[in-house]
Amino acid sequence: MVTKLVVGIIGPKDLVRQVADQTNLQKLKNIEFKPFIIQQVEETSKLDTTQLHNCDLLFFTGQMAYKVYLENRPASFQNENVIPIILRFDGSALYKTLYELAMENAGALPSFTPFTIDVLSQSEVHESLKEVHIFEENIITVEGHSTFSTTEWADVHEGFYNEGKSKYAITCITSVAEELKKRNVPVKRVMPTHASVNAALELLYANSQILLNSHLQTVAMMIKWHESDRRPQTRYDFYRQKLKFEQNILNFCEDLKLSLTFANDNQANIYTNKLEFKKYTNGFRSFPLIHKLEEELGNRISIGIGIGVDNSKAEYFAEKAMKFAELKKSSCAYITFPNGDIHGPLQHVDSSPLTFTTSLEDDRLKAISTKANLSAVTISRLVSLLQQNNNDQLTVHQLAEAFNVSLRTASRLLKQLEVAGFAKVNGEEQPPGRGRPRKIYQINLSIELME
């Protein structure tokens, strides 16, 4: 089977088609395009993040669409290694637009200057237009936030036109151009040049090759079932459990065409590549097999997953991940990546696993770890959780759920941070139904607090 990367291409239909038409078929053999058509610029923030999550690269047909995506993507998607490629509207695209305007107006600059222009920065516009002797007094740069809708962008352009301050609107946003036409405001849409599309595509080809090499790394999965200690089992019971385990593993590997060995009666070692594994786990978020094994066996399942350049490296990292999985009282999986980062826990439903490390490189975090008397794993997990939530406030219950620990353990961790000066109680919340109000802790992992 040929391994293919999925590239999500985001933009209006005509630009998506232009990019697709200019692709080099020879270089496209390992790439599959998945279009995400947006009619209005604000639709970018409403794209199905689950679908985006399944892409290996994202190709944006304009910098505004990328900016909207960047500022509106959910917190759970912040740290994903999805490579963005942006087709930028540069000086050459602006020259092309002005050339067309000049041709349409018999070369008379006063017929379309001064004009408003959006998306491109003021310095970028002024620098580009000096070459053609269009100066600052002829340009009104329109600035807007990524939360601006098509209507809001159009309102700004139209405002300058109605006040007589501009004669034309130049826009890099397709839906804004269409809206201004409806309002009878003279408008010209900036379109990327053939050369700028090719430059973006070359970047896509280069990144896809790097990513493809990464995706062909080996993934080793160590799947272990734990014997129940609640009641004595006969050897017949054990063998029945063993057969159920092996049958489920065999079906799983046969369905997904995975390599398999049984390390012992309780453990299976499975091998695949990173790309196929990423698809199965929905971007390293869940491990559906856990639930099926639990239902069939009624036992706790621990899964250690390692990614490496070869089998031995992958197995080494899988053993490291297995140590974390086996510490948990519930079934789960952990992943160790080649850089040493650990990701988990993965369970049978989509969740938001944390990424952490067993050793801190950051001197600030090392100092906090020492001062609070908390391990590197705990501190890096906490940093990951705060980034994921995009919030510096936590309750004991939130920490317990995220760390998969007891309320008592979570309370102890927050108390240690509080004593060390890295957390303080700044409010309470009422839980659903009955119960005592829960303390809300504000976390501040600032080295200055140590003083």
Q: Strand 267-273 relative to strand 259-264: parallel, antiparallel, unpaired?
A: antiparallel
Residues 66 and 209 in one domain: yes
Residues 6+ apart with CB under 8 A from 362: none
Residues 348 and 264 both lie in one domain: yes
Report DSSP state, residue 286: B
Q: Tell me the residue range of the domain where 381 lies.
A: 363-450
- pLDDT for the residue 229: 65
The 8 Å CB, 24+ separation contacts for 196-199 are 196/87, 196/88, 196/89, 196/90, 196/92, 196/93, 197/18, 197/19, 197/22, 197/87, 198/22
Question: 435-449: b or e for each residue (b if 16 or more CB lie within 10 Å)?
Answer: eeeebbbebebeeee
280 and 369, same domain (yes or no): no
pLDDT by residue (tens digit) across 383-418?
888 888 778 888 888 888 888 788 899 899 999 998
Q: Are residues 126 and 165 in the same domain?
A: yes
Give residue-wise pLDDT tens across range 371-384: 889 888 899 889 88
DSSP-assigned letter for residue 238: H
Q: What is the pLDDT of residues 69-127, one digit of tens each?
A: 887 765 444 445 577 899 988 777 888 888 888 888 777 777 888 889 888 777 767 66
pLDDT tens digit string along 189-248? 998 888 889 999 999 988 888 888 777 889 999 999 998 766 657 788 888 889 999 999
Please report, for the domain that includes residue 320, its CATH number.
3.30.70.270
Comparing C-alpha atoms, which of 437, 446, 432 is closest to residue 392? 446
Q: Structural domain tally of the chain?
A: 4
Please choose, from the candidates 245, 324, 232, 260, the residue with its C-alpha nearest in 3D space to the C-alpha of residue 290: 245
Residue 333 near residue 404 (C-beta atoms within 8 A):
no
Same-domain pairing of 225 and 343: yes
Do both 26 and 108 map to the same domain? no
Which residues touch 175 (CB under 8 Å, ≥6 apart)?
12, 38, 39, 40, 41, 150
Instruction: For helices 150-162 and 174-182, give the axis angle rounded to 10 degrees.
Output: 50
> In this structure, are 375 and 343 located in the same domain?
no
Residue owning tokens 């109680």: 425
Cα gap 211→155, rounded to integer Å: 42
The CATH code of the domain that includes 70 is 3.40.50.2300
Best CA proximity match to 258, nearest among 266, 268, 244? 268
pTM for this model (two decimals): 0.63
Strands 259-264 and 423-429: unpaired
Indicate if 273 and 379 belong to the same structural domain.
Answer: no
Q: Which comes out higher in pLDDT, residue 139 or 229? A: 139
**Nearest-5° Cα angle at 191, 185 to 192:** 160
Residues 240 and 175 in one domain: no
> Smallest Cα–Cα separation from 152: which of 162, 144, 163, 160?
144
28 with 72, same domain: the answer is: yes
Of 55, 47, 41, 51, the residue nearest 73 (C-alpha): 47
Distance CA 386, CA 384 (A): 6
End-to-end Cα spacing for the chain: 59
Please give the mean pLDDT across all residues of the chain. Answer: 85
- Do residues 56 and 95 both lie within one domain? no
CA distances from 230 to 226, 227, 298, 299, 331 (A): 12, 9, 12, 11, 17
Widest Cα–Cα separation across the chain? 95
pLDDT, tens digit, 9 for 90 and up, residues 312-321: 999 999 999 9
Are 351 and 374 in a shared domain? no
What's the pLDDT at 364?
Answer: 83
Q: How many CB atoms lie within 10 A of CB 247?
A: 11
Query: pLDDT at position 246, please?
Result: 94
Q: Which helix (H) or strand (E) holds 154?
A: helix 150-162
pLDDT of residue 446: 66
Q: Sign of the C-alpha dihedral, residues 95, 98, 104, 105? A: negative
Q: In the listed set 356, 373, 401, which residue is the last one of a domain according to the structure? A: 356
Tally of residues, the chain: 451
Which of 165, 182, 213 lies at the terminal end of a domain, its last residue? 213
